[in-house]
Amino acid sequence: MKDNNIYSMTGYASVTRDIAHADGAAGASVSVELRTVNSRFLDLAFRMPEEARACEPSLRESLTAKLSRGKVDIRINVQRPESGTNGALNLEAVKQLADLEQQVLVHFPDAERMRTGEILRWPGVLGEESVTAEALRDAVIDAGRAAIGDLVEVRRREGAQLKASLIERIEKMETILTGLQPLVPDLIARHQQKIVDRLQEALGVVVPEGSAAPSKEEVAERIRQEVTIYGVRIDVAEELTRLDAHLKETRHILDKGGLVGKRLDFMMQELNREANTLGSKAASKELADASMELKLYIEQMREQVQNLE
Instruction: Quote the pLDDT of residue 79.
Output: 87
- List Cα–Cα distances, 183 to 168, 170, 285, in angstroms: 24, 21, 12
**pLDDT computed for residue 215 by the predictor:** 58
**Mean pLDDT score of the chain, rounded to an integer?**
83
**Residue 17 CA neighbour count, 13 Å, CB half:** 18
Give the separation between CA 283 and CA 306, rounded to whole angstroms: 33
Share of the chain above pLDDT 90, in %: 50
Residue partners of 14: CB distance under 8 A and separation at least 6: 31, 32, 33, 34, 147
Percent of the chain with pLDDT over 70: 74
Q: How far apart are CA 38 and CA 21, in angstroms?
A: 40
Q: How far is Cα 219 from Cα 28, in angstroms, rounded to an integer?
A: 96
Q: What is the dihedral of CA 303, 304, 307, 309, to 10 degrees?
A: -120
User: From the CB of residue 271, how many other CB atoms can be counted at a distance below 10 Å?
Assistant: 24
Kindly indicate the confidence band of residue 44, based on its pLDDT and cuts at 50, 70 and 90. very high
The predicted pLDDT at position 148 comes to: 97
Lowest-pLDDT choice from 36-50, 76-90, 119-133, 203-217: 203-217
pLDDT band, residue 280 (cuts 50/70/90): confident
| CATH 1.25.40 is held by the domain 11-82+134-157 | no
pLDDT value at position 69?
Answer: 94
pLDDT at 126: 65
Give the helix ranges, DSSP H, for 116-259.
Answer: 116-121, 133-180, 184-205, 216-234, 237-256
Question: Distance (Å, rounded) from C-alpha 268 to C-alpha 247?
Answer: 9
Q: Is 285 a residue whose pLDDT tops 60?
A: yes
How high is the pLDDT of residue 205?
A: 46
For residue 1, the model assigns a pLDDT of: 42
Does position 16 have pLDDT exceeding 60, yes or no?
yes
pLDDT for 150-163, tens place per residue? Answer: 999 999 999 999 99
pTM score above 0.85: no
Domains of the chain, by residue range, sit at 11-82+134-157, 91-121, 160-306
pLDDT tens by residue, 100-125: 889 988 888 888 888 887 887 776 67
Write out pLDDT tens, residues 56-76.
999 999 999 999 999 999 999
